[in-house]
Structure 1
Amino acid sequence: MNQYKRLLSNTFIFAVGTFSSKILVILMLRFYTGVLTQDEMGVADLIIKTTSILYPVVSLSIGQAVIRYGLERRRRKPDVFTIGLLTVACGFLISLPFNPLLKLVHYNTSAGVAGSLLDYRILIYVYVLTSCTQNVCGQFIRAIGYVRLYAIDGIFRTFMTIVLNILYLKVFRWNIYGYVASIICSDALSTVCLFMIARLWKYFRPRRINFYLWRSMLLYALPLVPDAILVYIIGFSDQAFLASMQNTSVSAIYSIAYRVPTLIALVASIFIDAWQLSMVNSNTKEEQIEFFSNVGNTYSAIVFIIASGGIMCAKLAMTVLAVKNYYIGWTFIPILAIGAGFNCLSSFQKSVYLLEKKTVPSFLSTAFSAVINIVLNALLIPRYGGTGAAAATLTSYVALFIYRALDSRRFMPIRWKSLRLGLTVLLLAVQAALMLIEPPFWLIWQLLLFGAVGLLNSRELMAAFAKILHRHRKA
């Protein structure tokens, strides 16, 4: 199977699993916002975001090393899997004494009640452990070729999360605890099922540890720890600043609005999952550059067309996804949608660093973006609230893409079609501005601009389709 066909096939498989599952979760937002108060929703989301930051620290980002090294044919699969699980276990034990640091994440409710995440430390730590273990197992089954099982597992985890959410929130009335516990239980069930179906116990051999490989995997993964933390900080700092400088109610509205741009990031996650399996190949350097350039330009076209649709449907999305108390959040979506598009392209650029095992430059680029995000949040949120947070996020993601596009040329000079990218971003900026201003016949303007973005990028999509079809016929 040629590399384009393989990429398309894997993308389709991951799309079925990931997209269907994520759509179900997003559609559940109306249920969540109806059962939980805005303050409860804000605290629950703070717990989820904090766990996302703790996850790479505890796991040492070993999941990334598991798939990168697991894809190499010369590696013994049991060595890779054993190192992955042992790293998670060691990281978890080392992190236990540091739980008082959770007191640093504090919040104010709309009723004026102050609190911190230290009250939820047991819940957070159990969540971290189950999430890290599930991730290692999930990444490993991808590395050994269980692509369909990986996709099915995504659907299974989502289904169990929804069922348990209804049980814990609607029946047992566990509120914040029920919201988080449903995710913990679904991750734990997923891990058990993967062990049974893929017979992962055969690959766990703690008595035969390859310490040389462990060192190599850690050297690859460790720079990804601060990298991952900073990625989450870019998304988390918005809510942390809003919860602290405004209140958890404003933070919750922003959090729900952020779910719409998350759909754009979902495209990135589906594609990047498939891309990781295709980028490790035996091509020559020039063939790799051509492959990366062709795929990158097609990917950018898809991402920005979806971003344009997200801007156009901002009001409709908030009406469908949440109860009316959250409707004002639509004003954040146009800015966040463009930012999400640049975040997707940054993720693609990051694959260059991962392919070349240059994880330190990846971290430095993320640090650059995170500093911009935090500084702008501190400056803009006190005056502009959620709109300031959205603007800070957009600016940081644009900076991240530009940094990586220039820096990664040392390793892989991707040939971006700059004129098309520039015109597309200009159209998106005009579209976002008109959406927020709401001039007469605003919907017609939105439809016209959406059509213009699609038309501008259609040639790229048709060229990609022709390339795949041509290669398929040759094969």
Structure 2
Amino acid sequence: MNKYKNLIYNTFIFGISTFSSKILVFLLLPLYTRVLSNTDYGVVDLIVQTSNLLIPIVSLGIANGVIRFGLDKSNSSSDVFSTGLFTILGGFLIFLLLEPILSKIKYVSDYTALIYIFVLMSSLRTLCSQFIRARKLVRLYAFEGVLSTITTISFNILYLVVLKLGINGYVLAIISSDFLSVVFLFYTAKLYKFIKFKQKEKSTPINMLKYSIPLIPSTIFWWVTNVSDRFIVAYMLGAEANGLYAISYKIPTVVTLLSSIFSEAWQLSAVSEKDAQYREKFFTNVFKSYSSLIFISASVLILSVKAITKILVSDAFYASWSYVPFLVMATSYSCLATFLGSIYFVEKKSNLSLITTFIGALVNIMLNLILIPKFGVNGAGFATFLSYAAVFVLRALNTRKFIKINCSNKKLLFNTFILLIQSTIMIFEAPHWILIEIFLFVLIFAVNLKDILINIKKLIV
């Protein structure tokens, strides 16, 4: 199969899974904003984000090793899965000893038991799903994504609407859905057959951990760049302000949705492309189309942010729309930086991923402390954008030693400038903003359409 067609096919299959799970953000927003107060949603967000921070630490980031080494046919599948499983269980036992520390964190101290269960179930689900993806069981992977969507919606209705469990119900819905996914994948894919207490190759666990462990701080720093602003907003401006800010994060996930659908398929294609002569051209062509789609999607979201927010959230959360534009820009550059991170994935250079994300996290914290007191919540959004842009620039320069991608710098700067103008006009509601926004969208669409059409032609020919 043509490598472009293969990428599109895998993107379509993974899209079924990713789209169904990501669409939850929009399907459940009306429910969350009606049954939870601004303050409750702010606390819920901190609980979930704290758990997401703990997952790579507790699991030693082994899911990264499972997908990367699982794709390498020279490794035993049982060695890969068993290493992943025993690493997670061992890490969780150690994690249990840290309860006194967790119980002292403001806002989440009353929910430590839920956080423990959340971390374990999420780690196990990620292990199972990444393993079947590494084995290229893409249809099963997609079906599990759809199943997870259905169960999550069902549990949210049960816990939040019927039982009215509030914050506890929100977290329990995620835990319950993850548990069912683990059970489903464990037996459907017969994962129990891959559990071996004796490794065929003793070097596999060591190599997986060598690859995965440097990605722990990398994941943490990425989390810091993406989430630390919410904690700073909560401490400086209060949980209610963070509730609005957390809601505003949901709308930019449309861009993340497009990115994550593509990225899962892209990893398979990137690793499979061995021909150095054509690899740079392949990576460049894909990046140009990918970045064009990202910028067009971002422009559409900024243009329509008021309407989307009005439809999806209750009146109490409507003010969150003004925080969205800068977060859309941040998410766009996060996606572009992640694409370049795939080069580290291919080359197994997890240490370089660590360095670039560390710098991004450092920039983010410094800018948050400077901009939030001066500009409030929007200062946090702009700080996040600048930090992701910094990571992208660093990776664009650093990855050239492995694969030279032509990023079309002039077009990138033009797209960024147009999005910045769109965001500013929208936030300040400048006179005739609707007409200006439409004009800017048409402009960004026209500039980016060519690269998309070029690769569509490659699929047809």
Residue 377 of structure 2 aligns to which amino acid in structure 1? G
CA–CA distance in structure 1, aligned partners of residues 304 and 105 of structure 2: 34
Whether contact under 8 Å (1:82, 1:209) holds in the other structure is: no
CA–CA distance in structure 2, aligned partners of residues 431 and 5 of structure 1: 34
Q: Deviations over 1:206-263 (max 9, x none)?
A: 2336331100000000111001111111122111011111111000000001111122
CA–CA distance in structure 2, aligned partners of residues 206 and 178 of structure 1: 37
Offset, 1:99: 2.2
2:48 aligned residue: 48
Residue 46 of structure 2 aligns to which amino acid in structure 1? L
Report sequence identity in percent: 40
CA–CA distance in structure 2, aligned partners of residues 371 and 153 of structure 1: 37
2:366 aligned residue: 375
1:146 aligned residue: 137
Residues 272 and 168 of structure 1, relative CA distance in 2, 3 Å threshold: same
1:34 aligns with 2:25: no
CA–CA distance in structure 2, aligned partners of residues 439 and 165 of structure 1: 39
Q: Deviations over 1:122-141 (max 9, x none)?
A: 11011000000110100000
1:345 aligns with 2:336: yes
Whether contact under 8 Å (1:61, 1:224) holds in the other structure is: yes
Structure 2 runs not aligned, ≥5 long: none
1:307 aligns with 2:315: no
TM-score (norm 1): 0.95
Residue 306 of structure 2 aligns to which amino acid in structure 1? K
2:105 aligned residue: 105
Residues 419 and 448 of structure 1, relative CA distance in 2, 3 Å threshold: same
Whether contact under 8 Å (1:7, 1:278) holds in the other structure is: yes
1:24 aligned residue: 24
Match of 1:451 among 429, 432, 442: 442
Q: How many residues align?
A: 461
Offset, 1:346: 0.3
Residues 417 and 104 of structure 1, relative CA distance in 2, 3 Å threshold: farther
2:71 aligned residue: 71
2:205 aligned residue: 214
CA–CA distance in structure 2, aligned partners of residues 93 and 127 of structure 1: 14
1:169 aligns with 2:135: no
Offset, 1:437: 2.7
1:253 aligns with 2:244: yes
Q: Deviations over 1:426-466 (max 9, x none)?
A: 21112112212323321111111111111000000010101
Q: Deviations over 1:123-161 (max 9, x none)?
A: 101100000011010000011121011111111112111
Whether contact under 8 Å (2:20, 2:149) holds in the other structure is: no
CA–CA distance in structure 1, aligned partners of residues 434 and 99 of structure 2: 50
Residue 140 of structure 2 aligns to which amino acid in structure 1? L
Tell me whether 280-289 or 134-143 shows the greater mean CA deviation.
Answer: 280-289
CA–CA distance in structure 1, aligned partners of residues 176 and 197 of structure 2: 26
Offset, 1:102: 2.2
1:233 aligned residue: 224
Whether contact under 8 Å (1:25, 1:158) holds in the other structure is: no
Offset, 1:104: 5.2
Whether contact under 8 Å (1:334, 1:435) holds in the other structure is: yes
CA–CA distance in structure 1, aligned partners of residues 345 and 274 of structure 2: 16
Residues 376 and 103 of structure 1, relative CA distance in 2, 3 Å threshold: farther
1:433 aligned residue: 424
Whether contact under 8 Å (2:19, 2:261) holds in the other structure is: yes
Offset, 1:169: 0.9
Residue 95 of structure 1 aligns to which amino acid in structure 2? F
CA–CA distance in structure 2, aligned partners of residues 129 and 455 of structure 1: 47
CA–CA distance in structure 1, aligned partners of residues 249 and 55 of structure 2: 21
1:473 aligned residue: none
Whether contact under 8 Å (2:76, 2:200) holds in the other structure is: no
Whether contact under 8 Å (2:63, 2:127) holds in the other structure is: yes
Match of 2:264 among 266, 273, 277: 273
SS of alignment partner, residue 405 of structure 2:
coil
Offset, 1:65: 0.8
Structure 1 runs not aligned, ≥5 long: 107-115, 471-475
1:112 aligned residue: none
1:283 aligns with 2:271: no
1:8 aligned residue: 8
Offset, 1:24: 3.1
1:224 aligned residue: 215
Residue 23 of structure 2 aligns to which amino acid in structure 1? I
Residue 141 of structure 1 aligns to which amino acid in structure 2? I
Whether contact under 8 Å (1:380, 1:392) holds in the other structure is: yes
Offset, 1:103: 4.3
Offset, 1:312: 0.5
2:146 aligned residue: 155
2:192 aligned residue: 201
SS of alignment partner, residue 210 of structure 1:
coil
CA–CA distance in structure 2, aligned partners of residues 266 and 206 of structure 1: 38
TM-score (norm 2): 0.98
1:187 aligns with 2:160: no
Structure 2 counterparts to residues 353-372 of structure 1, below 5 A: 353-372=344-363
Q: Deviations over 1:75-128 (max 9, x none)?
A: 11111111111111111111111122224532xxxxxxxxx3222111101100
Whether contact under 8 Å (1:100, 1:118) holds in the other structure is: no
Residue 312 of structure 1 aligns to which amino acid in structure 2? L
Residue 404 of structure 2 aligns to which amino acid in structure 1? P
2:391 aligned residue: 400
Offset, 1:282: 4.9
1:109 aligned residue: none
CA–CA distance in structure 1, aligned partners of residues 104 and 398 of structure 2: 35
Offset, 1:332: 1.0
1:264 aligns with 2:265: no
